[in-house]
Amino acid sequence: MRKVMGAGLLALFMGMQPWVAMAANTNNDDDGLDQFQERAVRNQWIKIRDDRRTNIVAWYKIEDGKAVRSFKLEAIMDSPMERVAKTILDADNLQRYFWECFESRQVKKISDTEFYAYLKVNVPQPVPDRDIVLRLQAQPYSKKRGYLTFHIDAAPNVLPLSSGLVRVPEFTFDIKLTPMGAETRLELEGSINPGGNIPSWAVNAIMRNAPYVSVLGMRRLAKLAKFEEPFPYRITED
């Protein structure tokens, strides 16, 4: 069933039905512009989405020496900072909003601001699914600093490889949460190298939508989720 969930992206991954990918591109107003911008602009952020309905703005950047685009996203979350932070820190429920994730769990708590987590991510057949071991480090909110940050990166050697899965070798997210009363400003920047033989153009196509979809899911979960109390991770310093 989870393979079927990603079937709409099969043409993008494998190029098996080019006409499907082309038809999909014609429905995206940004694609034609991207092709011209990519030729002329490198190492600069290019805006690809400005969704006033959801208060989400997204960019990508093509950097010298990197085959995969970096991405950046800003959003206004309609929940207080504490609830958004707890949603990010709840490793056992990442699959409830992280793009195409069908399993997630905390592997090891290192401290009250740091842990390892493990995720499995659906990829359309016949490409193998991916798994990710990540390390999250939080810098709690302080009144002096005025925001909370998370640094998330891949830790591929923490767990043994799993049969039938490709381990993601590079995964970097930096997240900044700034409280705005009942709302929170979220700023996210990162890049992903999924490993294996997925062509970079297919990865780039997915990265256009995956952060946006994930943040929408995070927003919904932050409003609805019930968290363990006392919460095991520290969100504020004062």
The domain spans of the chain are 2-224
pLDDT > 70 in the chain, percent: 83
Check residue 24 and give its pLDDT: 36
What's the topology of domain 2-224? Answer: Alpha-D-Glucose-1,6-Bisphosphate; Chain A, domain 4 (3.30.530)
Residue 96: partners with Cβ closer than 8 Å, 6 or more residues away: 217, 221
Query: How many Å apart are CA 202 and CA 8, to the nearest integer?
Result: 13
Check residue 32 and give its pLDDT: 45
Length of the chain: 238
- Between residues 142 and 202, the one the model is more confident about: 142
Residue 27: partners with Cβ closer than 8 Å, 6 or more residues away: none
In the predicted model, is pLDDT for residue 40 greater than 80?
no
Check residue 42 and give its pLDDT: 83
Q: Grade residue 4 by pLDDT with cuts at 50, 70 and 90.
A: very low
Q: Pairing state of beta strands 166-167 and 130-139?
A: parallel
On average, the pLDDT of the chain sits at: 85
**Three-class SS of residue 201?**
helix
pLDDT in tens, 62-98: 888 887 889 999 999 999 999 999 999 999 999 999 9
In the predicted model, is pLDDT for residue 38 greater than 70?
no
pLDDT > 90 in the chain, percent: 68
**Three-class SS of residue 190?**
strand
In the predicted model, is pLDDT for residue 45 greater than 50?
yes
Query: Tokens in use for 158?
Result: 């923490």
Q: Grade residue 126 by pLDDT with cuts at 50, 70 and 90.
A: confident
In the predicted model, is pLDDT for residue 17 greater than 70?
no
Amino acid in position 167: R
Q: In the predicted model, what is the mean pLDDT of residues 116-134?
A: 92
Q: In the predicted model, what is the mean pLDDT of residues 29-50?
A: 67
Q: Containing H/E element for 30?
A: helix 29-40
Are the C-beta atoms of residues 72 and 58 closer than 8 Å to each other?
A: yes
